[in-house]
Structure 1
Amino acid sequence: MTTEQLFQAGGVELCAETFGDPADPAVLLIHGASASMLWWDARLCARLADRGRYVIRYDQRDTGRSTTYPPGRPEYAMSDLAADAVALLDALGVERAHVVAQSMSGGIGLILGVDHAPRVASLTFVATSTGDASLPPSSDELPRFEPPDFADPAALEEYVVRAMEAEAGESFDEVAARSLVRRDIARATDYESSLTNHYAMEFDGPRGGGFGDLAVPVLAVHGDRDPIFPLEHGEAIRDAVPDGRLVVLRGAGHELPERSWDAFVDALVEHTGAS
């Protein structure tokens, strides 16, 4: 059973969808920059629900049906997006959640784990980084794309699909990618805001410490073909936290491809079963 609902959360409107039994341990999925909740595939969410987890995916500000600001003018910082996650848990009546944060939202996960620790049962960092300047940079083989014509739906779709292809690992499912992008564009309040505003916000961090101050179980999940954050970034997360663990997705890039779902679900169910 799935539900999609608009919530008034901390002064903004957030659209969320849940999967599974609210009595089960809650798993809050937070995707990366520009990505609505659709980027957490509903079939993946259902698999987690079938394994005894209450799964929550949602649109962050400037994505999907949630509060959207004019392009280039986001009225929030990263810490505000973390506060949104807490407000959403409040609205859903969830006291503590296992937080899964992907890519850019690794920073949100860190803020939650440090500054909102009582609300976090565990953290999983997917395809993200500690941000240490000594880590390897993104691949120099990544293409550089000119900004799309936001008034041309076909050009906009092509821009996002080609960016997804560049970030993929050993294989790329273009049919699935186009389907996702078309649904995402159709559902968004303003797709230009979706593609720009997360990069224009203030990237503040936790007030109460850093990775070494996390007191919850931490799992890093990372593709060994990630061109944005090479594997060393996932290894750095594992090494930066007490008793950190790392699961390497062979052949995966800066995404969570369907062929990796079994490994991801098994690791996440194990990780979230301890508390």
Structure 2
Amino acid sequence: MTTVHVRGTALGIESFGDEDAPLVLLAGGTTMLSWPDELCERLAAGGRRAVRYDLRDSGESTTADPEAPAYTLRDLAADAAALADALGGGPAHLAGIGVGGMVAQVAVLDRPGAFSALIVVGTRPVAPGPPDDDLPGHDPATMGRLSARPVPDWSDRGAVAEFAAAGAEILGDDPDAARALAGRVWDRTPGTTAAVQTANQLRTVFSRLDCAPRWRERLPGIAVPALVVHGRRDRFFPVGNGEAIAREIPGARLLVLEEAATALPRAAAREVAEAMLALG
């Protein structure tokens, strides 16, 4: 892992594969560890340079004030294009997961010359907040159970890991995988204050961003190959969101993972990597 400085900010990255291979840039959601190691390794084995990175205010990237971010969704999209340029190798494939999928959609729309394919995983085509009337929102019962839990002591690694495991069980994800991932995220988080920890563990910084203007209406203008991956059992961004993105991007392929929920499970790494590699 290292950092790359673009647009006045440091972005934490980790690279897999030959540095001269075609680039697949993986935007975190919000940390790079949202992308499983196994997936990155399979992309590298398939002849790609897979580079996963932390969004601002997470992981090894610049952390300023996650409770009042002085940047917008458009800035995060511009970061992706600048990072792809800094890493070299011509137009890159851009992938985003969760909130990183929103960044990826906007980046391909705003900087079409920087990217030659789009992959989005477990996301939706509108900014945080109430969805459009035709899009399914967060499952109310699930959100009620999540919000009813007492917050952990963010300075206690074990407590944070158990908090994540309990949340994963509510969401339908693997608690053991979530526990291990939360520990890794905690190890990379630059501080134990609630604001910094929740930005890394719960992606709360993203809900405070200025995400205007809307971009959903522009999706039919995407002219690069696109892959939309979504878990059938996702209760946070239900699968109808992924189906809408796939309908509205011309020629997009929809890959529904029947046994997946919110997180991208290790067991799906091969299938998802093969679909990504098939984009060319």
* TM-score, scaled to structure 1: 0.88
Q: Quick one: distance in 2 between partners of 1:207 and 1:179?
A: 35
Mean CA deviation greater in 120-129 or 187-196: 187-196
Match of 2:23, as an amino acid? A
Contact 2:21 2:89 in 1 (8 A): no
Q: Quick one: distance in 1 between partners of 2:66 and 2:269?
A: 34
Contact 1:125 1:220 in 2 (8 A): yes
Q: Quick one: distance in 2 between partners of 1:205 and 1:270?
A: 32
Q: Quick one: distance in 2 between partners of 1:137 and 1:39?
A: 21
Q: Quick one: distance in 2 between partners of 1:208 and 1:87?
A: 23
- Taking every aligned residue pair, what percent have the same amino acid on both sides? 36
Match of 1:137, SS state, is coil
Structure 1: runs of 5+ lacking an equivalent: none
Q: What is the CA deviation profile of residues 33-79 of structure 1, one whole-angstrom value per residue up to 9, with x for unaligned ones? A: xx311221222211110011110101111111110023412121111
The residue aligned with 1:64 is 59
Q: Quick one: distance in 1 between partners of 2:26 and 2:226?
A: 15
Matches within 5 A, 1:48-197: 48-131=43-126, 132-142=132-142, 143-145=145-147, 146-169=150-173, 172=174, 174-190=175-191, 191-194=197-200, 195=202, 196-197=204-205
Contact 2:91 2:116 in 1 (8 A): yes
Equivalent pairs, count: 264
Q: What is the CA deviation profile of residues 64-118 of structure 1, one whole-angstrom value per residue up to 9, with x for unaligned ones? A: 1110023412121111111111221222124311111112222211211111000
Pick one of 212, 215, 223 that aligns with 2:231: 223
Match of 2:268, as an amino acid? S
Q: CA RMSD in A?
A: 2.0
Q: Which runs of 4+ in 1 moved over 3 A?
A: 146-149, 151-155, 205-209
Match of 1:111, SS state, is helix
Contact 2:27 2:94 in 1 (8 A): yes
* TM-score, scaled to structure 2: 0.87
Match of 2:47, SS state, is coil
Q: What is the CA deviation profile of residues 11-46 of structure 1, one whole-angstrom value per residue up to 9, with x for unaligned ones? A: 0011111111133221111122xx311221222211
Q: What is the CA deviation profile of residues 211-252 of structure 1, one whole-angstrom value per residue up to 9, with x for unaligned ones? A: 111111111111111111222211111111111210111111
Contact 1:68 1:193 in 2 (8 A): no
Change (3 A) 1:207 1:238: closer
